[in-house]
Amino acid sequence: MTDISRYYVPGLHVDDHVINVPLHWQWKDGAEEPEQESFAGEQIQLFYRVVTSAENAKRELPLLLFLQGGPGGMGPRPMSADSIPWLAEAVKHFRVVLIDQRGTGRSSRVDASSITRRTKNGETARQIADFLKNFLADSIIHDCEYLRLTQFGGQKWATLGQSYGGFLTMAYLSLFPHALAVSFVTGGIPHIPMNPREVYEHTVPRMITKTQQYYARYPEDEAKLAHIADIIASGGVQLPNGDLVSVRRLQMLGGDFGIKPSFERMHWTVDTAFASPADEASGILTDGFLMELFARTTSYGDELYWVLQEFIYANENISPISWAANQVLRDTPAMSEDARPLMLIGEAALPEMFEQDAALRPFAPAMDLLMADTSWGKVYDEEKLAENTVPLRAAVYFDDMYVDSGLQLDTLSRVGNSHAWVTNEFEHDGARSGNVFQHLYEEALSLGDLENLL
């Protein structure tokens, strides 16, 4: 372990660390440790930080591993003890371990530049596709388990998974359940067995509903967005970085419609589209609007989120994923670029993005191969999950646009010792905006789920 630095942000004590891990783990099913051959190949860095409240800096509190959403999500960067509600509660009881998942943040980041360098060094699209397979849940959980064994003395820890972090939680319970004392999940129970098309068949209708709700709140925006779409469809509209804008990219502004106050963000973005009635009539969009469109739809700094988006549903041997979201969108006439009113899209990786977004173009050849692949790592073990004894407390958001609540509850009905709290008080980011973690923690405490930890 390399201890990089120690410091305080207001109300929090932070220790930064980095260790080396194999790019490709060789770790037999059921083995408590990896095979040493893992370390003979390419290695990458895994960055993590341990965060406590300032007053608990010297105390050996139990450990809580935070599993970030994503995919391709780096650990949160708190501004203060109160800046992230779940963290404010967690540091009262735990030492919180925040990892930058491999390929993100300070953990050997994978981005457009790094993929371009690999291509220039002679790597083929197939080699890059196989490289990218090492950044999914099975590898992330092997990183976490190696970290627990080597840096924390094999001490059991609690986990908190947000969104994709819930997928990682289920992978951890499948691969190394003995490592966990209790698990919390907020808005992220995957449907097991996996079926990516099924996911979008449930979430695309929610995108339509969300757009209709937005137009009901701000009726004038319906005509204005249709006019903007018509201007873009006529061709020649460029973003500040030179990318040509498509109507599909405009529709991607709905990506945060599952996170409040998204309707207001969208309304104020549309509000700045035209400098004057004359410009609106002439079809001249403001530089400020185009900058906002670029900022809200660019993949720079977030490339793995889109690259890995559909492959989080891959488990062992499956049929080709074949751009599942795109299939469902193309099969839904209301989501067409030509449809009016214009419907907005939430969290869907589309082939056009890898043609039109400069940040994603270097990944395009590998994406075509990955979408046709049928062999993946083993992530979820249905038999182990059915026999699970680790207390699992999950917040399921009834109106979640990204992770269907019905599919979440179906999975939980087949996972041992799992408990769902279903609520419509919050949307997908409830843990970042409310007392969701406090609720789950107090439930676990009151029912004895923490007796092996505290």
pLDDT in tens, 290-343: 999 999 999 999 999 999 999 999 999 999 999 999 999 999 999 999 999 999
- Computed over every residue of the chain, the mean pLDDT equals 95
- Evaluate whether residue 278 is within a structural domain: yes
User: Same domain for 343 and 390?
Assistant: no
CA dist 165 and 217 (Å) reads: 32
Pair (154, 289) in one structural domain: no
Same domain, yes or no, for 32 and 120? yes
Are residues 256 and 395 part of one domain?
no
Q: Residue 182 above 80 pLDDT?
A: yes
The whole-number pLDDT of residue 30 equals 85
Domain boundary (337, 370, 403) is at 370
- The tens digit of pLDDT for each residue in 340-365 reads 999 999 999 999 999 999 999 999 99
Q: Classify residue 452: in a domain, yes or no.
A: no
* Core vs surface per residue 368-393: b (16+ CB within 10 A) or e: eebbeeeebbebbbeeebeebebbbb
Distance CA 257, CA 264 (A): 10
Residue 3 has pLDDT above 80, yes or no: no
Instruction: Write out pLDDT tens, residues 278-287.
Output: 999 999 999 9
Strand partners, 63: 95
Measuring CA to CA, how many Å separate 117 from each of 20, 233, 363? 21, 34, 12
pTM confidence score: 0.96
Instruction: Taking residues 231-238, report their average pLDDT.
Output: 96
Beta bridge partners of 180: 157
DSSP secondary structure letters along 296-326: HH--TT-HHHHHSTTGGG--SB-----SHHH
Q: For residue 375, tell me if it sits in a domain.
A: no
Residue 454 has pLDDT above 80, yes or no: no
The answer to whether residue 212 is domain-embedded is yes
Q: In this structure, are 425 and 286 located in the same domain?
A: no
- Please report, for residues 164, 166, 217, 308, the alpha-carbon distance to residue 136 in angstroms, rounded to integers and kept in the order given: 11, 13, 39, 7
Q: pLDDT value at position 452? A: 80
Cis geometry, peptide bond prior to residue 190 (ω within 30 degrees of 0): no
CA distance 98 to 108: 16
Q: How many domains does the chain have?
A: 2
Do 174 and 25 share a domain, yes or no? yes
Q: CB under 8 Å to 241, separation ≥6 — which residues? A: 294, 298, 358
Range of the domain at 6: 2-193+380-446
Over residues 146-173, mean pLDDT: 97
Does the structure show a pLDDT above 80 at 2? Answer: no
The answer to whether position 407 is within a domain reads: yes
> Is 454 within the bounds of a domain?
no
Q: Measured between alpha carbons, how far is 273 from 369 in angstroms, rounded to an integer?
A: 38
Helix runs in 196-307, H state only: 196-217, 220-233, 247-251, 262-271, 277-282, 287-297, 303-307
| Beta-sheet strand order (sheet of 180-186) | 2-9, 12-22, 43-53, 95-99, 63-67, 157-162, 180-186, 392-397, 418-423
- Looking at the structure, tell me whether residues 144 and 281 fall in a common domain: no
Tell me how far apart the alpha carbons of residues 299 and 90 are, in angstroms, rounded to a whole number. 31
pLDDT band at 1 (very low <50, low <70, confident <90, very high): low
Give the whole-number percent of the chain exceeding pLDDT 70.
Answer: 100
Same domain, 177 and 77: yes
Instruction: Return the SS3 of 348.
Output: coil
Output the pLDDT for position 314: 94
Give domain status of residue 213, yes or no.
yes
Instruction: Say which residue, 155 or 4, is predicted with more confidence.
Output: 155
Positive or negative, the Cα torsion across 174, 176, 182, 185?
negative
Residues 165 and 61 placed together within one structural domain of the fold: yes
Pair (186, 204) in one structural domain: no
The number of angstroms, rounded, from the C-alpha of 348 to the middle of its chain's C-alpha atoms is: 12
Query: Has residue 32 got a pLDDT over 90?
Result: no
- Identify the domain boundary among 313, 342, 370: 370
Q: Where are the alpha helices (DSSP H) in 25-136?
A: 85-90, 112-120, 125-132
Q: Which of 347, 370, 393 is the last residue of a domain?
A: 370
If asked whether residues 10 and 131 sit together in one domain, one would say: yes
The CATH number for 123's domain is 3.40.50.1820
How far are the Cα atoms of 20, 66, 131, 304 from residue 42, in angstroms, in the given order?
A: 10, 26, 11, 20
Q: Residue 82 forms beta bridges with which residues? A: none
**209 and 130, same structural domain?**
no
Mean pLDDT confidence for 23-33? 91
How far is the C-alpha of 441 from the C-alpha of 421, rounded, in Å? 12
Report yes or no on 264 lying in a domain: yes
